[in-house]
Amino acid sequence: MASEPPVRRLPFSGLLRASRRRALAFEDRILLLALATGLPGTALALLFVWLDPHSLRLRWTVTLFALSLWGWLAVQLRDRVVRPLQTLANLLSALREGDFSLRARQPQEADALGQVVHEVNAIGEVLREQRLGAVEAAALLHRVVDEVDVAVFAFDHHGQLRLVNRAGERLLALPGERLLGKPAEDLGLTGLLDGEVSRIVPLTFPGGPGRWEIRRSTFRELGLPHRLLVISDLSQTLREEERQAWKRLIRVLGHELNNSLAPIHSMTSTLVSLLTREPRPDDWQEDMQHGLEVIGNRSGALIRFMAAYARLARLPSPRRAPFELASLIRRTAALETRLPIYVEKGPEVTIEADADQIEQLLINLIRNAVDAALLTGGGVGVGWRVDGANVEVRVEDEGPGLSNTENLFVPFYTTKPGGTGIGLALSRQIAEAHGGTLTLENRTPEPGCEALLRLPV
């Protein structure tokens, strides 16, 4: 007995395609629906014509006329439904391809079809305005990027260059046409796309050597990650800053050295003339002793000045560790014995910082506040509070206030007899090393001064 042939089964996708081939088009379904709508009336009319005793010629004439009218009305109904949809499809296809200039003719009737055409035309107008705005914004952005004096490079997810401005072309000494599409390895920029996000390094590019600030970030375009590389030439700026720093240093050192060396030189000349005088005066030994004391005092002041400057220049990096700020403030306030320090009650907060450096900073602020308060017989208060991601420490005094706020943080500037002029400069350096700030300003309307220290929690 012969075996039956195996049944061939189509895969699921093949069944879908077969069903789609068997399915009627939308236009055909509309035509069939229109024919079905007119079928009962046409069939009934023809039935009456053929059942009544009419001539054969009349019967065929009426039959052909009825069938023709039936078919023509069905075709017209199909066209009335299909053609507006085809027009809308063409409009939507143009919008999809970026052609926003096409518009559909607005029907005279305010019916549902008119509303659809109106909305499609409105969408096209909105998209046209948005595209025009995007093109203008992109043109402005490209113009700005080209005009900035920093090199800008944009790499796609494959590491190929997609955007470069004129500064980048000058940096690599090649036109943009020869740079676009090349990988970062061929451009010598691979090492700059890794490592720290922002850093300053000395490098030599085809456009020349220098000290450069390297900054990089990421962005997404069409859902794909891209990398942005910005290279700024800091050579001229850093050289100018170095020159200004050297000028300030020489001015400060020259002033202090002259203040100490001038009396030393004058007193040395006086002592030499005293020793060479014949006969020597009776009190020459007292004059000699006084002169040597002056030389010793001025030499000691010069040594203390150089030690203070070395201390300011050699501030170590903070060694961060968590500690309770409230207990540190209370302990530091208790170190001052000349005047009772009022410590407000504040929140218990833990910060991560160098406790020794923060303590030294607070000692300087409290000492300055006490020095000012003793001049007027006022008091000193310390308080703190948490403000978002920062903690604020206030040191307030009831002294005479600040007379010159411009030179507060200038190293070695002081209005105190015997002061070194590095306390506030060192305090601000400590605050900035911790990512914080230190400001001093007069209190209003109360007398005195307020020192405000902000540190990140």
The CATH number covering residue 187 comes to 3.30.450.20
Do 87 and 191 lie in one domain? The reply is: no
Tell me the DSSP string of 40-65: HHHHHHHHHHHHS---HHHHHHHHHH
User: Does residue 102 form part of some domain?
Assistant: no
Do 280 and 173 lie in one domain? The reply is: no
Q: Alpha-carbon distance 61 to 59, whole Å?
A: 5
Place of tokens 């050192």: 253
SS3 117: helix
pLDDT given for residue 115 in this prediction: 80
- In terms of residue numbers, what domain contains 445? 321-456
CB atoms within 10 A of CB 25: 9
Do 434 and 376 lie in one domain? The reply is: yes
pLDDT given for residue 404 in this prediction: 65
Query: Phi and psi (nearest 5°) for 5?
Result: -65, 145
Strand duo 198-205 + 208-221: pairing = antiparallel
Per the CB < 8 A criterion, the answer to whether 384 and 325 are in contact is: yes
Do 222 and 259 lie in one domain? The reply is: no
pLDDT given for residue 17 in this prediction: 54
pLDDT given for residue 252 in this prediction: 62
**Torsion angle of alpha carbons 338, 339, 344, 349, nearest 10°?**
-10
What six digits make up the tokens of 32?
């069939």
User: Does residue 101 form part of some domain?
Assistant: no
DSSP state of 106: P
Q: Which of 252, 246, 255, 304 is nearest to 410 (CA)?
A: 252
Last residue of a domain, one of 181, 202, 233: 233
Q: How many domains does the chain have?
A: 4
Q: Alpha-carbon distance 193 to 214, whole Å?
A: 9
Chunked in runs of 10, what are the mean pLDDT values of the chain (457 residues)? 45 48 74 85 85 84 89 87 83 80 71 79 83 77 77 88 88 87 86 82 83 86 85 77 68 66 78 78 78 78 67 73 92 87 90 89 89 90 90 92 65 52 77 89 88 90
CB atoms within 10 A of CB 447: 14
DSSP H helical segments within 277-343, as ranges? 284-313, 325-334
Do 291 and 209 lie in one domain? The reply is: no
Q: Alpha-carbon distance 149 to 165, whole Å?
A: 9
Identity of the amino acid at 377: G
Last residue of a domain, one of 233, 261, 282: 233
Helix, strand and coil content of the chain, in percent to the nearest 5, comes to: 55, 20, 30
What six digits make up the tokens of 158?
């494959």
User: Does residue 115 form part of some domain?
Assistant: no
SS3 255: helix
Q: Alpha-carbon distance 83 to 154, whole Å?
A: 48
- Alpha-carbon separation of residue 316 from 241, 319, 320, 379, 431 (angstroms): 22, 9, 12, 33, 13
User: Does residue 114 form part of some domain?
Assistant: no
Identity of the amino acid at 101: S
Do 211 and 250 lie in one domain? The reply is: no
Q: What is the pTM of this model?
A: 0.43
Do 253 and 371 lie in one domain? The reply is: no
pLDDT given for residue 21 in this prediction: 53
